[in-house]
Amino acid sequence: MRLITTSLAAVVVTAAWHFAIPVANAQVETPSPGLSAPAPNITDQKLDAAAAALKRVAVLQQTYRQRLAQAPAQADKDRITAEADTALTNAVADQGLTVEEYVSIMDVAQNDPEVRGKILQRIRPSQNDRN
């Protein structure tokens, strides 16, 4: 049960990071000098999968957050949390990633503007897609 709670926490924290991306991206355009290590080589396929998972995780997070807020009893909250853990894990796995891979990619993206930009490009529809 501890592993499930840990994976849920990792996925939810990562999803929360999704909402901070535009603000962080607008405020920090360059990495701090001297402290950044070279990012591991993340394939385009993994970036595609992580971006797709991130979109799904963000929707699920919002849904389950609302359900938890409306749950009247602790037993209901526990049941909803377990359901959320399964749904979030499946959202990542459906994209061909393990939770560990997903969290690792999100960690890299959080610290590497280039990787973050690649994920944002995959999340945000291009101008051509809107026309």
| pLDDT higher than threshold 70 for residue 104 | yes
In a domain, 95, yes or no: yes
| pLDDT higher than threshold 50 for residue 53 | yes
In a domain, 32, yes or no: no
Question: Strand, coil or helix: what is 32?
Answer: coil
Q: How many domains is the chain partitioned into structurally?
A: 1
- Residue of 38 and 51 predicted with greater confidence: 51
Q: Which residue has the tokens 């809107």?
A: 130
In a domain, 37, yes or no: no
Q: Which pLDDT score, from 0 to 100, does residue 52 have?
A: 96
- Please state the rounded mean pLDDT for residues 16-21: 43
Give the E-state strand segments of 35-88 in sequence order.
Answer: none
In a domain, 80, yes or no: yes
Q: Which pLDDT score, from 0 to 100, does residue 33 have?
A: 43
Q: Which residues form the domain of 91?
A: 2-20+45-124
In a domain, 27, yes or no: no
- Residue of 1 and 108 predicted with greater confidence: 108
| pLDDT higher than threshold 80 for residue 26 | no
Q: Which residue has the tokens 């999704």?
A: 18
Query: What phi, psi does 44 have (nearest 5°)?
Result: -60, -35
pLDDT digits (tens, 9 = 90+) for 63-103: 999 999 999 999 999 999 999 999 999 999 999 999 999 99
Q: Which pLDDT score, from 0 to 100, does residue 28 have?
A: 39
- Average pLDDT score, the chain: 78
Query: What phi, psi does 33 have (nearest 5°)?
Result: -70, 145
Amino acid present at 80: I
In a domain, 15, yes or no: yes
